[in-house]
Structure 1
Amino acid sequence: MFLRKSPALPLIAAIAGTSALPAFSQVTFDLSTDKAFRQYEVGADFRGGQLSATLLDGNFIYIGGCARPAYWPPNIPLDPCPGGSTAFLTFGDAGDANNANPYFWVTDIQPAIVIEPRLPQLCSLIAAPASELRRPLGGFRDRSVGLYFNLHTTQVQEYLISRYNYTRNYTDNQEGRFFKEIVPGVYHYEFPRLDNPVLRARISPVVYPLPNGPAKINNKKTGVRFDDKGRWGGKRGYSGRWNKKGYFELSYIYPNTIKWEGFTPSEVYPAIDDLYFSIRFLSQPGDPTSDITYTSPTGDAPASLFPEY
């Protein structure tokens, strides 16, 4: 099972009092915490976790497959990219546009309005709830983009799109470290202000509690657990059971009813959380403890047994 909390928050409200901002623009910050568990007939193990943060200020829309090494005009007969090259990439990675093919077809663009691009050293977590997570914490990666637009007109100007992301991974043998460092509460981040990076734009998202894998604490079951009673439920279908080889068996004759328990109101929030269910392939079908894979082993079947995508 894979558990994630990912609230995406707009920054506009925090800085609207000091800036005149276009109504169509938006700055977003996404802070997410992930952790994965593998349930067995008895107990479960921790399969890793992650803390990730992404900030986006500005955006653009481009047509894929139309990046080229040189400028080309619009409306060339039989050209699959009739819009021509409206933009030139000056830095960054813009989809299929890169240093080798810097000219591409952009249809709309919104520049950064709050955050200065290309200064990852000034991006950091400055405060958080009491834990063993080091503060201040930098390590953001710059994904900013610069481009000239619109090349078909005489009003060409440079647009800057600010993008930063951060990822902190935890391996399957770092469960203790994950729980000591990633705790619920408010996390305060700072980013350089546009045109005056000495000043900082601050955002303070919340990390919410995450459900855990199944466990038994003080003789009481806790965490999220899939039902393994292995019984036929009439019209409700068949619920699976564990076999001696360690696989969870489902019926290929009767409808299967998948049940689980452990999502409590203190850990699950209707306005934030979504529940997704799928049956995936194992990376090593002969080993029930192997990791799942998101690609079909044969290449002929979908990446997921259920649903088919």
Structure 2
Amino acid sequence: MAPPLGDIAHLGHVQLLTPDLDRSVWFFTEILGMTENGRSGDSVWLRTWDDYEHHSLTLVAHSTSGVRRTALRTSSEEALNRRVKALQEAGHAGEWVEDEPGIGPLYVTRDPDGHEVALYWESEWYQAPEHLRPGLKNQPQAKPGHGVGVRRLDHVNYLAASVLPNAEFTEHLLGARPTEQIQLDGGRISARWLTFTDKSYDIVYTEDWTGSNGRLHHIAFATDTREDILRAADLCLDRGVFIETGPHKHAIQQTFFLYVYEPGGNRIELCNPLTRLVLAPDWPLITWTEAERAKGQAWGLKTIASFHTHGTPPTE
């Protein structure tokens, strides 16, 4: 039986690997409008303007691309201890680390596919310096005057050799609710969307066509409006950032989106899902069939082949 919704408060931040750190920093700061909030060694910490924590994203210089760690903030210290106990009792060993600025102890474990997941409670609230101080006291930071101005880290879409064990790990041990899924004709679940909050999704698992473990499909940042996504497309066109597909609207979850590749090779989604919430406590799991999924997006161009084949790190 799944634990009650609420032990995980929200998606905290992600560590993204890049073989071109300088260009990746340029993309996230100049194109997306994020703020650099420190660096040390091979790591650079970045934040969105509406995030109350120290950072929303860590870029880590590496020989290849991909995701290293996804951090989830719990709703209390007691909730953190409950989730750690549940993970340990289920055989998901982990370790306590303190290796991120502005964040207290993290319990680092892995999902069945090998993606690194960290849980934490203690978090330092961001205090904007004078030049980034907002006009309203209930806003952490002034809106950026350049780039897209992404508002928050919205979700992570993992690739997994097998979707169901990972989705059930997230549901039964972390307390997420599944909201939508794709079921193939043979009965196999090829994708599932899960939420920790009243958003329609925070974590997604999608079947990896290569059968590999621990890869990333994309991370997504939410914008204020659909017009911001149209502006993002123009900025990427002008500045030579590869646009994979969009702007279109997904049928599943109804998200308005644009997919691009940041210079390190990772797929980044810009999305505007802010108006769609899952408020019903008894929300039914929506299942899409293989035939329904084959119809592609709600509107816009058909889904392109690379959307199903590109992941990071790349495989042979």
Which bracket does the TM-score occupy, shorter chain normalised? under 0.3
The structure whose residues are more often helix, as a share, is 2
Relative contact order, higher structure (CA 8 A, sep 6+): 2
Pick the structure with greater CA Rg. Answer: 1
